[in-house]
Structure 1
Amino acid sequence: MAKTMFTPAGPIQLHRQDLPPDLSFGSVVAVDTETMGLDPRRDRLCLVQLSSGNGTAHLVQIIPGGGPSPNLVRLMEDPGVVKLFHFARFDVAALFQGIGATVAPVRCTKIASKLVRTYTDRHGLKDLCRDLLGVEISKQQQTSDWGAPELTPEQCAYAASDVLHLHALWARLEALLVREGRLALAEDCYRFLPARGKLDLMGYEEPDIFSH
């Protein structure tokens, strides 16, 4: 049964290990992950955050030895549901390593920003929310212990904020991709992301197999 809490970020439902089988996120779901560190080969998946863009976030706490997450895997692999990330390269690798999901189809706001906002080097989620939406989000809990058995309200609010704005960001960035004639190029990048994540898990971040 989900634990519901109300935070400044909005209503949050916290689930353990898996999503309820009857929960729908529509045709586009915003997704983020929290892990024990920045190496998905070493650092385990601790939390998966999701939102349909309706102001509510669902957090799935992945428990070591807690068993499979079939409903979450099914959603991540559903070809009829777009998974919207910021820096999808890391998240798709973490989800494959953590729950065995090959995530597709994928969109990534960081790739979109780098393709069209070439006038700046500020492509972090906090930067995009401020520059494109006029929203300030806090990154104070980013390096906290996401493997703790019980997450604090502050951790949950931070985790939720990482998905609650992605739909609005994507709408702005998709319009810029269309305006600059780079949407098709972005789509090609997104199709490659599941393979890019698997290459990272195999250690092919360095050497990059695409380099000379």
Structure 2
Amino acid sequence: MNFEYIDTPEALSDFCERISAADALAIDTEFVRTRTLVPQLGLIQVYDGEHLGLIDPVALDDLSPFSDILVNPSIIKVLHSCSEDLDALWFNLKVIPSPLFDSQFAANLLDMGQTLGYANLVEKILDIHVDKGESRTDWIARPLSPEQLVYAAADVFHLLPVYRQIAEQVEELGQTEWVFAESEFLSLKKRAEIPVDLTYLSIKNNWKIGAQSRQALKEIASWRLQQAQKRDMAINFVLREQGMLEVAMKLPENKAKLFQLQTITPKEARIHSDILLELVQKALNTKPEDCPPRIQRLTDFNDYKKALASLKDVCEKLAQKHDTRVEVLASKKQLNQWLKWCWFEIDELDSIQLQPDIVSGWRRAIFAEELTRLFKADGGEFYALRSL
């Protein structure tokens, strides 16, 4: 396995020119995301079947020649379990590969497993063992050892021949479009940003608190994210979620009460006491009717269990019709996502102008008719605040 290490603008330009005529590229990324909000990109591996390059984003300030490759519509970009790679590329390069073929999703269509790892896929398809010994490497540190570089190169060297085989099998099923559409919809979600003032909706146990506590949680969650963005710090290193929720629940009005909270460390209280007390006071000065509405849960709805059972029946019926497995069409989480979108007064999807997974991308044509029958704002078996 031969590869080239690319750490100069000239080498990058030359490499990108050589791979620009490829029909498909196997791509992987190595990054570090321990204390930072944004993943720190440490290496980009690319293979076209002839040229294998390890691009060093630490050494290169301008990666635009490779960014152009990523969005070239004539080249299929192949990644395995691509969600975190897309995060790394989007945050660092502000591009997302397209068209994109996720080999993990394709393997799921072929009934190889819903979350089959890269090493297991290579072994299953090529009967080759892939060493994962360097997976815990600090990819930002330099220099990288020869063993680390070989490990990184292997992640794309085997991916391309795997792609050739499973792409052919998916084509025989008539589901190639599903793979590309799934990746395209995931890319849309990666680009979307939930408004800062709605980040409190994702905090666990937020439904337990009253009106002014919800206002405090909204203020604190917004502040925490803004601090994390400003300092490029993982949000729990700004303030842990449990502490944030306890502040909102207890609404301490002075430092003595703040320091008595069980889930706020003395260090957190000392550093953030002024702003936390300011945000608590702001919430206490807000009239209850002006605070965020009560946070809903699916279990609050009398029809929830019946509706979920009906959706599962629909999935079974559609899976048989389209000769696939229920797990491919929709998970329980995706069915719950649809119900929240139908029933909740405030839903995160509305804020980013996206619809639920089961009525987006390739799934829409499959589900739309059945869901319209079940959920209509003007009638139907189940009430909905909105309909398709």
Q: Same fold by TM-score, threshold 0.5 exceeded?
A: yes
Give 1 or 2: higher strand fraction. Answer: 1
Q: Is the 8 A contact 1:40 1:94 kept in 2?
A: no
Structure 1 stretches lacking a partner, 5+ long: 1-9
Deviation at 1:107, TM superposition (A): 0.7
Deviation at 1:132, TM superposition (A): 0.8
SS at match of 1:45: strand
State the shift of 1:41 in Å.
Answer: 4.0
Q: Following the alignment from structure 1 to structure 2, what is the Cα–Cα distance between the partners of residues 162 and 16?
A: 19
Partner in structure 2 of residue 114 of structure 1: 108
| One-letter code aligned to 1:15 | I
3-state DSSP of counterpart to 1:143: coil
Q: Deviation digits for residues 181-211 of structure 1, max 9, x if unmatched?
A: 322322221222321332489899x958981
**Any conservation in 2 of the 1:93–1:198 contact (CA below 8 Å)?**
no
Paired letter, 1:130: E
Larger radius of gyration: 2
* Distance apart, 1:43 and its partner CA: 2.4
SS of 1:24's partner is helix
| Distance in structure 1 (CA, Å) of the matches to 2:156 and 2:47 | 6
* Aligned pairs for 1:67-78 within 5 A: 67-78=61-72
Counterpart selection for 1:161 from 154, 167, 182: 154
Counterpart CA distance in 1 for 2:36 and 2:158 is: 25
Tell me the distance in 2 between the aligned counterparts of 1:169 and 1:39.
34
Q: Does 1:14 align with 2:5?
A: yes
What TM-score, normalized to structure 1? 0.82
> Paired residue for 1:144, among 137, 142, 147?
137
- The CA deviation at 1:122 is 5.9
Give yes or no for contact 1:40–1:97 (8 Å, CA) kept in 2. Answer: no
Q: More deviation in 183-192 or 100-109?
A: 183-192
The aligned runs of 1:19-168 (5 Å cut-off) are 19-21=12-14, 23-25=17-19, 26-37=22-33, 41-54=37-50, 56-63=51-58, 66-118=60-112, 120=113, 123-168=116-161
Shift of 1:102: 2.8
Deviation at 1:113?
A: 0.8
Cα distance in 1 between the residues matched to 2:45 and 2:158: 12
Runs of 4+ in 1 over 6 A off after TM superposition: 200-204
The alpha-carbon deviation at position 39 of structure 1 amounts to 9.1
- Tell me the secondary structure at the aligned position of residue 48 of structure 1: strand
Counterpart code for 1:31: I
- Distance in 2, matches of 1:150 and 1:111, equals 34
Q: What is the rounded CA distance, in whole Å, between the counterparts of 1:155 and 1:180 in structure 2?
A: 38
Residue identity over aligned pairs, in percent, reads 20
Q: Given that residues 29 and 52 in structure 1 are in contact (C-alpha distance below 8 angstroms), is that contact kept between their aligned partners in structure 2?
A: yes
Match of 2:190 among 186, 197, 201: 197
Q: Judging by fraction of residues, say which structure has more helix.
A: 2
**1:120-172 alpha-carbon deviations (Å, 9 max, x no partner):** 45611100110111111100001111011211101100000000112211122
Distance 2:131 2:116 in 1: 15
Supply the RMSD in Å over aligned alpha carbons: 2.8
Deviation, structure 1 residue 103: 1.8
AA matched with 1:61:
D
Describe the shift of the 1:101–1:122 C-alpha distance in structure 2 as closer, same or farther (beyond 3 A): closer
Structure 1 residue 178 displacement after superposition: 2.5
Count of matched residue pairs = 199
Gaps of 5+ in 2: 203-332, 341-388
Distance in 2 between residues matched to 1:172 and 1:154, nearest whole Å: 28
Indicate the larger mover: 91-100 or 126-135: 91-100
Say if 2:172 is the partner of 1:185: no
